[in-house]
Structure 1
């Protein structure tokens, strides 16, 4: 019984670990979002929302991006690296088993007389076991930290997955918006070209003054100058979309026109759901957990390290006798080592670990607050962009009517051609602005899904070829 008492004490000590256990910090969570719509679909976050645009080409591009995007491949490599570090940390909890073997040949001499010198051989082979007993839990805390880092890297990859899908959708929307703006600009140039040709004939026969012809030419040349910047932006956007999909830069196949795309339904969610839905929040929490475990790793340095070492094998002058009973050797040793004076090194490590944990906690809380702001901004933008699109759509209709009436009045001699030019310029500007507003409105709907996170990320993950095989 007296031998069981120390063993029981060691067992109880080894079941504990120095340092604080992780606890999620208290978070001030609002009960609802300020700009939450009255009508929303509660289960929308569980769907592949980009499919609601009803464009098969866009669906194909999202899938291609999550399969071939380079940033996702990098994120997967980071997961594998973190998994390797976890394996290293866990291996320290177990004994290490090794071996050693050797052969020695030497010349020995006794008394200095003839024939006393001889050559001797020595062979040895042994297995050894080394084990550091994690009595204070420092190794377990290191393993805990490495595991949290692994989980953080998984969430970081999910965050990249979210960003890649969102960027693919938004870049495609920008591309379709630029396409529509280019069509409007080209149609305007063609219309002005026909007007210039007509007015040149009228000027030739003295129907109009030269100043009127020059006004029309000026409008035509101005319209021509609007095309190259749009074409330049289209090439840049095509290249950006190609890179997102892991392709070399090049042309992009289009699907439905911008006006044919339908806006996704608005999802609903409570602020508290963000803590489990957003990868950046989950990543920040795992980073906090990893930092918290490092406090235990540092505090374990205050206590002695206890290790056991054993060796068993054989030594013989004859190789064939090496493993026989008479040649056996063995040893068993226990060792305790620690620091008596380190100049404050251990205290400094503990202080550093505690400060890093405090910083990680603040980053976690800040990430949560920023997520609330992201959702509020997305909700506000969606509502504002919807109102802007509605107003600009009405403005387009008004300016087109204005342009028609101005042409009728000019043809009837009731207004100068400057009135027609002004009406056409306003109509063109309104059409381009309305196109930008529609892109912004559709992008706001996408941003709302991105800011809320949700199970759609897991569904998207099933399509990705750059996903971890470990769980």
Structure 2
């Protein structure tokens, strides 16, 4: 036999405090033993003489500055990124999406409070006395009626439906928060990479123009020697072909530079015809010599994409609770207090006042299995979000590992390319000297020149690659957004690392 007195004693605290059904979200723990490499990480990279050839120190556990791009020591680059943050439509869209998510979260919090409404109306009425008696208190056929009412309603969150919906909205705001940070990081990285590409293309164009000048000079020499009978027609024609090939290689580089200018203009929120300070060259960009390498446990707390995936997982977890709560009773209380006098002056007369209090319990009984299947769909979505989170973490570790391999390999590549350029330059100088002394054939000079040209271009690519690797490492480690002091960070809703 049910003891109703004892049952009600347990039911009252349940209605007042309630419980939140569904899983409670916990930040996913990093898999034990996760790391970047199977072997120990080298302490520093190889070095090479000349610009951008310094050895880079790999500092495990070192933090990343909020404005990491300033480490390249280019005032022009800093100004360009600041301009991009202000004018980029992608940043404006991400910021607006964040504002939408936050306002929705705050709106959802309103479900924790009672809803209060007021209603007032006035009417002029006439009673047909042929069939009805006058309804007014003064027995008049024509009368006025004024009604004022205050209503208060409140839904008891007995099973946590409102709390889970607030939790979901808050997690969605977190997700947009980190999507915003990801947009900022992507934009700043792309601007720096574009500057590096511009600098590299300018260096390649300069090298190609110098090659054209060298081939033109050599062609003029062969032209005179051919007229004097000291050079064959075949040698002269071969030199003309080499000169034409050098000239043909220049327009594609100029085209790439123009396209890069257009891309950079778009990144900073401008149009191609607008002036843009993008006269970067490799000598104007400093290679940071200290590279921070985040600890594996810190990486999942720093990468915006990982944090956004964790927030999406949190949303899915809360939605399971919402789906379960929708299958349980919904309890609400409504109270109304009002007055309905025939004259406004009598509004507060006790006989004109009325009130009512209504308690309501609504329990879904049959909806064709819709609520059950929605719960199962929410649970499947939680499994999907969990797998996507794990995939994002794995990709993040792969990203960092790839960059660390590239940092090492490209430093070695520059070392070899610099040595090759130096050797090719000395070889060309010797060949030219021997040709002037009549001790070397033209073909040997042409071969040495082509080898030197290829070595120069390879060296330029290698120097630009070291800058690009550095950008990629800062981006892979999360970009230091938690060290940035601005309103967006100060207003962070997630409680994650700042």
Q: TM-score, normalised by structure 2?
A: 0.87
Task: Determine if the alignment matches structure 1 residue 27 to structure 2 residue 30.
Answer: yes
Could you say what secondary structure the match of 1:267 adopts?
strand
Indicate if the aligned counterparts of 2:482 and 2:489 stay in contact, CA closer than 8 A: no
Give the Cα–Cα distance (whole angstroms) in 1 for the partners of residues 258 and 103 of structure 2.
42
- Matched position secondary structure for 1:316: coil
Is the CA contact 1:97–1:130 (under 8 Å) kept in the aligned structure 2? yes
The answer for the alignment partner of 2:55 in structure 1 is none
Which residue in 2 is equivalent to 1:62? Answer: 81
From 195, 212, 232, the counterpart of 1:172: 195
1:36 aligns with 2:41: yes
Aligned residue in 2 for 1:437: 462
1:7 deviates by 6.7
Which digits, 9 at most, give the CA deviation of each residue in 1:336-367, with x for residues without a partner? Answer: 11211111111111101111111111111111
TM-aligned CA deviation for residue 294 of structure 1: 0.9
**Number of the residue aligned with 1:216:** 239
Whether 1:403 and 2:405 are equivalent positions in the alignment is: no
- CA shift for structure 1 position 26: 4.2
Shift of 1:84: 2.0
Count of aligned pairs: 466
User: What is the aligned partner in structure 1 of residue 142 from structure 2?
Assistant: 119
Q: Which runs of 5+ in 1 are unaligned?
A: none
- Quote how far apart the aligned CAs of 1:15 are: 3.6
Residue matched to 2:496: none
Contact 1:127/1:312 (<8 A) preserved: yes
Segment drifting more, 442-451 vs 25-34: 25-34
Asked if the contact 2:198/2:281 (under 8 Å) is kept, the reply is no
Give how far 1:415 is off: 3.1
Q: Distance in 1 between matches of 2:126 and 2:63?
A: 86
Between the aligned partners of 2:481 and 2:489, the Cα distance in structure 1 is: 12
Q: How does 1:38-437 map to 2 (within 5 A)?
A: 38-39=43-44, 40-41=58-59, 42-46=61-65, 48-111=67-130, 118-249=141-272, 250-254=274-278, 257-264=281-288, 265-437=290-462
Query: Which residue of the partner structure matches residue 48 of structure 2?
Result: none
Instruction: Provide the rounded CA distance (Å) in 2 between the counterparts of 1:137 and 1:466.
Output: 30
Deviation sequence 1:411-450 (CA, Å, 0-9, x none): 3333321221122112111111211111111111221121
Query: What's the C-alpha RMSD, in Å, of the aligned pairs?
Result: 2.6
Structure 2 contact 36–398 (Cα < 8 Å) conserved: no
Q: 1:76 touches 1:466 (CA, 8 Å); kept in 2?
A: no
* Residues 167-200 of structure 1 deviation map (CA, whole Å, 9 limit, x = unaligned): 1111111110001001101111122222333333
After superposition, what is the alpha-carbon deviation per residue over 1:291-343, rounded to whole angstroms, capped at 9, x for unaligned? Answer: 10111111112211111111111112223323433321211111111211111
Deviations 1:124-154 (A, max 9, x none): 1111112111111111011011111111111
Provide closer, same or farther for how the CA distance between residues 3 and 102 of structure 1 changes in structure 2, counting only shifts above 3 A.
farther
Local SS of the residue matching 2:458: helix
SS at match of 2:33: coil
8 Å contact 2:313–2:386 — kept in the other structure? yes
SS of alignment partner, residue 413 of structure 1: coil
Deviation at 1:87, TM superposition (A): 2.1
Structure 2 contact 101–169 (Cα < 8 Å) conserved: yes
Q: Name the stretch that deviates more: 382-391 or 415-424.
A: 415-424
Aligned to 1:30, what secondary structure does the other structure show? coil
Asked whether 1:9 is paired with 2:11, we answer yes
Inter-partner Cα distance in structure 2 for 1:43 and 1:245: 30
Whether the aligned pair in 2 keeps the contact of 1:29 and 1:271 (CA below 8 Å) is no
Q: Which residues of structure 2 form unaligned runs of 5+?
A: 45-57, 494-498
CA contact (8 A) 1:76 1:467 kept: no
Task: Indicate if the aligned counterparts of 1:33 and 1:270 stay in contact, CA closer than 8 A.
Answer: no
Q: Relative to structure 2, which stretch is displaced further, 380-389 or 197-206?
A: 197-206
Counterpart contact for 2:152–2:334, Cα < 8 Å: yes
Could you tell me how far 1:461 is from its partner in structure 2? 6.0
Residues 224-248 of structure 1: per-residue CA shift (max 9 Å, x gap): 1111111111111112122222222
Residue 457 of structure 1 pairs with residue 485 of structure 2 = no
